[in-house]
Structure 1
Amino acid sequence: MYFVDPAACRVALAVANRTRLTPNALTVFSLVLGAVSAACFTMNQLVAGALAFYLSFMIDCVDGKVARLKGTGTPFGLWLDYVGDRVRVVLCAGGLAYGQYALTGDVRFIVLGAAVAVLDLFRYVNAPQMKRVREAVKEGRQEPGDEHEPFDQDPFDQESQEPQDRVALGRGPRRRSFPRRLNRFLARHRVRSHLISGIEFHAAVFVVAPLAGAWALIPLAAMSGVLLLANEVFLVYRLWLFTRRHGAASSQESREHVLV
């Protein structure tokens, strides 16, 4: 967030105010830079590949900012951005794996490339499915007359739940815990307090490791992959707690209706 977002914000302002570039054009340009990065990795030009990937990722952050600034976002643009990200990762993972395998003959680099692509795909497949589950649970909990319930709140945020939900679960209002206060403080200072997500994973595999040298590719990719998987498992666990909590509340409300 320190090395990408500040630069992306400045570029977005310049693009929005001084050019006619559309968000979709920026997304395509980002994909082209990703292909350049993959080609550099294939030719064992690790530093050049890392710099090209950084530029690609930064431009990919610009397109969404320009879309919000100018109000020019489209559903097709969302699809293009989503698919472009996946194509870039597959190309770069394949280029990195092929380049190092051709140089060393070490089959571990082939495994590395496949693992990176699969982990990235799993993360992006898992996220919308989790969102669908959260929305389904909240729609099932919505009572007549609750049409104005804010659906954009974080379902994992205890403070965002309605007080009656806590009462239904036998809990009173909870004071904000120290970890939650610490997380909010870090977020205000651009520090991501969770384990690791796609941003950190891509940066570790395609920027930090290549800049450090070929020796760092496997250790850093393996470590970041394990942390990414742990983060996904943690999110699934929280989703399970969320569905269980709302399931318990629904059961209690059903029993109260029967008694009434």
Structure 2
Amino acid sequence: MGGFTLDDILATRKPRDSWWTVFAVDPVACRLALLTANHTSITPNGLTGLSMLLGVVSAASFAAGSLAAGAALFYLSFTVDCMDGKIARLKGTGSPFGLWLDYVGDRLRVGACAFGFALGQGGVESLWLAAGIVSLDLFRYVNGPQLLNVREAARNRVRAAGGDPVFVEDVLLANPLADPRDASIVDLQSAFRRRFPWFDRFRLFLGRRRVRTHLMSGIEFHAAIFVIAPLFGVAAMFWTALATGALLAAFEAALVYRTWLAAREADRVVPERVKVLV
């Protein structure tokens, strides 16, 4: 049906992604996406729907006490979820509704599997654990857009000073391996870089491997609890959820701290730009 190559599929990957996706999922998802693109007419929304269905079956397996089956199905569900965006970018068939459906599918998979596990194990502690997993997952999705709003408000303050500024974030988005120390661009992360001078080396090291710096994101959180830990039993799921939940909270706190520094940097940059432009 199509003449796509593996290189075509690889070109649709995100410039940077979670390390779990890059190393443990994309090698499988890209090849499945190639077969799907060339031999089926399934749409990205159809793949999202399939991912949601697999997520529900995974939750049912956890509820039945079949932890290994639940883990395998969760991994397969996420793999299919990684395929829909690739197919959409490859064929130009993405849609705004597809973005919403993808978001709902992710939340459905996590919530269903968390409470499916709690149902299978019984006990108040399992319900509290499930509630904690879902709450942390939702918090990061609420926190992320709000931090973006703060960042955009800080950038708008700099823009209002005039001069059509170019921001480091935009340069790095276009080229993750770029050097951010160019004096001609506005770096609202300069205070963060001064406090953590090793960060750029770390970022470049990960960027060469297509890995983003947020090493404990929701994706790793889900994978640790619902893919890896179930292979080692119930106790492993409890302790893994607690440990990775703490790491996820710490990384989110680091993002808040970095955004706060950027907002303060904007307050410092604006008067300087006004003086120069006047």
TM-score, shorter chain, exceeding 0.5: yes
Distance 1:79 1:161, change over 3 A: farther
Decide whether aligned partners of structure 1 residues 29 and 64 sit closer, same or farther in structure 2, where only a CA change above 3 A counts.
Answer: same
Deviation string 1:60-92 (CA, Å, 9 cap, x unpaired) is 111011111111111111111011111111111
- Counterpart residue number, 1:163: 183
Match of 2:132 among 97, 115, 140: 115
Q: Following the alignment from structure 1 to structure 2, what is the Cα–Cα distance between the partners of residues 135 and 5?
A: 31
Instruction: Tell me whether 1:24 sits opposite 2:45 in the alignment.
Output: yes
| 2:116 matched residue in structure 1 | 95
Contact map agreement 1:195 1:227 (CA 8 A) in 2: no
The percentage of counterpart residues that share the same residue type is 50
- 8 A contact 1:168–1:253 mirrored in 2: no
Displacement after TM superposition at 1:248 (Å): 1.0
1:224 corresponds in structure 2 to: 244
Unaligned ranges ≥5, structure 2 = 1-21
Hey, what does 1:65 align to over in structure 2?
86
Does structure 1 residue 199 correspond to structure 2 residue 236? no
Gaps of 5+ in 1: none
Select the structure of larger CA radius of gyration.
Answer: 1
Deviation at 1:119, TM superposition (A): 0.2
Structure 1 residue corresponding to 2:145, chosen from 128, 139, 144: 128
Distance 1:182 1:53 in 2: 31
- Is the 8 Å Cα contact of residues 48 and 81 (structure 2) preserved in structure 1? yes
Q: 1:23 touches 1:73 (CA, 8 Å); kept in 2?
A: yes
| Counterpart-to-counterpart distance in 1, 2:267 and 2:141 | 26
Cα distance change of structure 1 residues 236 and 148 upon mapping to structure 2, 3 Å threshold: closer
1:197 and 1:228 in contact (8 A); partners too = yes
- From 65, 81, 85, the equivalent of 1:44 is 65
Seen in structure 2, the aligned counterparts of structure 1 residues 232 and 150 have a Cα distance that, compared at 3 Å, is: closer
| Inter-CA distance 98–170: structure 2 relative to 1 (3 Å threshold) | closer
TM-score by length of 2: 0.80
Cα shift at 1:181:
2.5
Q: Check conservation: 2:158, 2:165, Cα contact below 8 A.
A: no
1:117-172 Cα distance to aligned partner (Å, 9 max, x none): 000000111111111222222223125562887874459x994476246699999x
Distance 1:166 1:187, change over 3 A: closer
Distance change >3 Å, CA 204–CA 67, structure 1 → 2: same
- Structure 2: how far apart are the matches of 1:149 and 1:247? 15
What RMSD in Å do the two structures reach over aligned CA positions?
3.2
Q: Indicate which of 141, 164, 189 corresponds to 1:146.
A: 164
Q: Is the 8 A contact 2:167 2:186 kept in 1?
A: no
Report the count of equivalent residues: 251
Q: Deviations over 1:21-57 (max 9, x none)?
A: 1110000100000000010111111011010000000
User: Which of structures 1 and 2 has the larger relative contact order (alpha carbons within 8 angstroms, sep 6+)?
Assistant: 2
Instruction: State how far apart, in whole Å, the 2-side matches of 1:169 and 1:10 are.
Output: 38
What's the CA shift for 1:108? 1.4
Q: Would you say the 8 A contact 2:47–2:81 is kept in 1?
A: yes
